[in-house]
């Protein structure tokens, strides 16, 4: 955690990386709390891309009307290769200084926070991070903005798929998002009654899944649902289905939920979390705290240094997978 003693008058807010439901609620909180505390608030369009391209504009109270229920981000988002280079970061900082931005609120994930940390380390631009990612893979925070919505979106789809699986006595493999994170898979697997859950850091194998399915068939089960996190790229479910077919002759149907999990109106939980985190980020800057992320520990908001956040990996809750397997027997 770092401190700075400069009195801030103007802050910038941006969203970066993958969009997540609830980002607009966080933007709204930053703007309205900032203005209530006598600050000017500027929006930076498309994250680090807009920082480099000087797409920086003032935000007013009225700009925040009717956005809390909207998915995505009104500020747009993106990933900037140019910002990973020193000259790109220098260009971004030059634009921030020209716009008289005193401090920043970064709403995003791990990659976004590495960029935010670099802005403080290299240029002493005060930054506070707000974790916005459906993957829930940010170290130092129990919850991230968008995760609850993504889980519920996936769960609704899985419930529908289970109806079809039961009607046709079929095996379905449902692929959810999460890249290297198994949080969405473990949560929807438990909540959706999945027979097996595959995650990048889990120990489930195809053979174990087959044994589990056969045990269910022996007890009279006529359909099964397997959940898998996408891994490094979408399409892992097809590899699993092919492997099961070759080993058993079973015809496994595949459903890849894809980017629909990132869209849609945020749940109440995500709106509340985003509002609390956005407000806390502004309060932290006003008190002279920076180079931190606003995280959660239980229901309590906490401050975690960005270098700790970016240097550590958050592990999947394997106990949820074990419980899901037990309950599916």
The CATH number of the domain where 235 resides is what?
A: 3.40.50.460
Does 211 lie in the same domain as 91?
no
Task: Based on the residue annotation, tell me whether 169 is a catalytic residue of this protein.
Answer: no
Q: Which two tokens stand for residue 201?
A: 């850091």
226-237 confidence digits (pLDDT tens): 999 998 777 889
Burial category of 54 from C-beta neighbours within 10 Å (exposed 0-12, middle 13-18, buried 19 and up): middle
Q: Nearest 5°: CA angle at 226, between 247 and 210?
A: 30
Does 257 lie in the same domain as 140?
no
Does 24 lie in the same domain as 124?
yes
pLDDT band with cut points at 50, 70 and 90 for residue 223: confident
Q: Is the dihedral of CA 261, 263, 269, 270 positive or negative?
A: positive
Residue 224 lies in domain:
150-262
- Which pLDDT score is estimated for 122? 98
pLDDT at 1 over 90: no
Does 106 lie in the same domain as 218?
no
Range scoring the smallest mean pLDDT among 38-42, 76-80, 218-222: 218-222
What are the start-end ranges of the H helices in the chain? 23-36, 48-53, 86-98, 110-123, 147-168, 183-191, 206-218, 236-248, 268-286, 306-311, 318-327
Nearest CA to 264 out of 14, 16, 22 is that of: 22
Q: Which two tokens stand for residue 49?
A: 């891309």
142-183 confidence digits (pLDDT tens): 999 999 999 999 999 999 999 999 898 899 999 999 878 999
Does 109 lie in the same domain as 66?
yes
Number of structural domains in the chain? 2
Give the mean model confidence (pLDDT) for residues 246-253: 92
Does 114 lie in the same domain as 245?
no
State residue 303 phi and psi, 5-degree precision. -115, 125
Residue 325 lies in a domain: no
List C-alpha distances in Å: 132 to 196, 266, 320.
28, 12, 23
Give CA–CA dist 45/261, Å, rounded. 23
Does 293 lie in the same domain as 251?
no
pLDDT band with cut points at 50, 70 and 90 for residue 221: confident
Active-site option among 19, 102, 110, 135: 135
Does 276 lie in the same domain as 139?
yes
Give CA–CA dist 59/44, Å, rounded. 10
Does 107 lie in the same domain as 45?
yes
- Which pLDDT score is estimated for 148? 98
pLDDT band with cut points at 50, 70 and 90 for residue 6: confident
State residue 229 phi and psi, 5-degree precision. -75, 150
- Which pLDDT score is estimated for 44? 98
The CATH number of the domain where 21 resides is what?
A: 3.40.50.450
Range scoring the smallest mean pLDDT among 58-72, 198-212, 309-323: 198-212
Give CA–CA dist 283/273, Å, rounded. 15
pLDDT at 60 over 80: yes
Does 136 lie in the same domain as 154?
no
Residue 294 lies in a domain: yes
Does 34 lie in the same domain as 17?
yes
pLDDT band with cut points at 50, 70 and 90 for residue 45: very high
Q: What is the pTM of this model?
A: 0.95
With pLDDT > 90 as the criterion, what percentage of the chain qualifies?
86
Give the mean model confidence (pLDDT) for residues 195-205: 89
């Amino acid at each position: 955690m770092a401190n700075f003693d400069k009195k801030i008058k103007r802050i910038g807010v941006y969203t970066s990386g993958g969009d997540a439901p609830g980002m607009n609620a966080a933007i709204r909180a930053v703007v309205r709390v900032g203005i209530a505390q006598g600050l000017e608030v500027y929006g930076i369009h498309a994250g680090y891309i807009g920082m480099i391209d000087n797409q920086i504009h003032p935000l007013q109270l009225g700009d925040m009307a009717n956005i809390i229920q909207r998915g995505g981000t009104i500020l747009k988002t993106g990933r900037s290769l140019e910002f990973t280079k020193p000259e790109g970061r220098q260009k971004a900082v030059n634009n921030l200084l020209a716009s008289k931005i005193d401090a920043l609120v970064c709403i995003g994930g791990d990659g976004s926070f590495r960029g935010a940390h670099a802005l403080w380390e290299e240029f002493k631009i005060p930054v506070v991070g707000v974790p916005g990612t459906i993957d829930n893979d940010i170290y130092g925070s129990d919850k991230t903005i968008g995760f609850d919505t993504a889980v519920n979106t996936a769960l609704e789809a899985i419930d529908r798929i289970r109806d079809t699986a039961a009607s046709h006595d079929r095996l379905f493999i449902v692929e959810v998002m999460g890249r290297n994170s198994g949080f969405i898979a473990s949560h929807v697997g438990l909540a959706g009654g999945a027979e097996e859950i595959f995650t990048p850091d889990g120990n489930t194998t195809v053979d174990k899944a087959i044994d589990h399915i056969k045990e269910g068939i022996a007890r009279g089960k006529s359909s099964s649902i397997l959940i898998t996190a996408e891994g490094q790229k979408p399409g892992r479910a097809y590899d699993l289905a092919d492997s099961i077919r070759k080993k058993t002759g079973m015809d496994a149907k595949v459903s890849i939920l894809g980017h629909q999990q990132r869209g849609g109106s945020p749940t109440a939980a995500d709106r509340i979390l985003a509002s609390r985190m956005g407000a806390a980020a502004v309060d932290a800057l006003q008190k002279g705290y920076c180079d931190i992320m606003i995280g959660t520990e239980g229901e309590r908001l906490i401050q975690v240094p960005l270098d700790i956040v970016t240097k550590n990996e958050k592990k999947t809750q394997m106990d949820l997978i074990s419980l899901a397997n037990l309950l599916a027997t």
